Amino acid sequence: MPRTSIIILSLVLLLACAENDGGHHCAAGAAGVTGAFLQGSLVTPVGADLMVRGSVSAPGDTTVYGVRVAGVDAASAGSDFSTWTATVPIGVLVKLADSAANVSVEATATTNCSAVPIVLDTLALVVDPTPVLQVSSLVVTTVFPGQLSYLPSTRSASALVQITANPQAAGATVALSTNLGTVAPSSVVLAGDRVGNATASAMFSSTQAGVAQIVATAKQAAGVAPLTKVAGPPTLVPDGAGLVPGTTLPVTVFDEGTFESCQATPAAGLHVKSGSQDLMAQPGGADQTHDGVVDLVVTVDTGLSATATTVISCRDAFGQTTTGTFTVSP
Would you state the pLDDT for residue 79? 87
pLDDT band for position 126 (cuts 50, 70, 90): very high
Instruction: Indicate left, alpha or beta for 4 from its phi (over 0: left) and psi (-120 to 50: alpha).
Output: alpha
Same fold, 3-126 and 235-328: yes
Backbone angles phi, psi at 19, to 5 degrees: -70, -35
Average pLDDT over every residue of 61-66 = 93
Would you state the pLDDT for residue 153? 97
Instruction: Indicate the burial class of 181 (C-beta count within 10 angstroms; 0-12, 13-18, 19 or more).
Output: buried
Among candidate residues 47, 45, 52, the one with its CA nearest the CA of residue 106: 52
For the chain, percent of residues with pLDDT exceeding 90: 80
The structure's pTM equals 0.67
Would you state the pLDDT for residue 19? 38
CATH code, 235-328: 2.60.40.10
Among candidate residues 160, 170, 163, 168, the one with its CA nearest the CA of residue 138: 163
Of 1-15, 168-182, 250-264, 297-311, the poorest mean pLDDT is in 1-15
CATH code, 138-231: 2.60.40.10
**Which letter does DSSP use for residue 160 in this model?**
E
320 near 264, Cβ under 8 Å? Answer: no
pLDDT band for position 15 (cuts 50, 70, 90): very low
Bridge partner residues of 67 (DSSP): 109
Name residue 254's amino acid: F
Query: Around 116, how many Cα atoms within 13 Å sit in the side-chain half-sphere?
Result: 2
Of 43-47, 87-91, 172-176, the poorest mean pLDDT is in 43-47
Q: What is the mean pLDDT of the chain?
A: 90
pLDDT band for position 24 (cuts 50, 70, 90): low
123 near 39, Cβ under 8 Å? Answer: yes
Q: Is pLDDT at 5 greater than 80 in this prediction?
A: no
Would you state the pLDDT for residue 39? 76
Q: Is pLDDT at 2 greater than 90 in this prediction?
A: no
Domain boundaries, the chain: 3-126, 138-231, 235-328
Of 118-132, 206-220, 243-257, the poorest mean pLDDT is in 118-132
Q: Which has more pLDDT, 26 or 158?
A: 158
Would you state the pLDDT for residue 213? 97
Q: Is pLDDT at 8 greater than 70 in this prediction?
A: no
Of 31-45, 85-99, 112-126, 188-202, the poorest mean pLDDT is in 31-45
By three-state DSSP, how is residue 164 classified?
Answer: strand
- What does the pLDDT look like over 150-172, one tens digit per residue? 999 999 999 999 999 999 999 99
CA 269 to chain centre: 59
CATH code, 3-126: 2.60.40
Bridge partner residues of 298 (DSSP): 249, 272
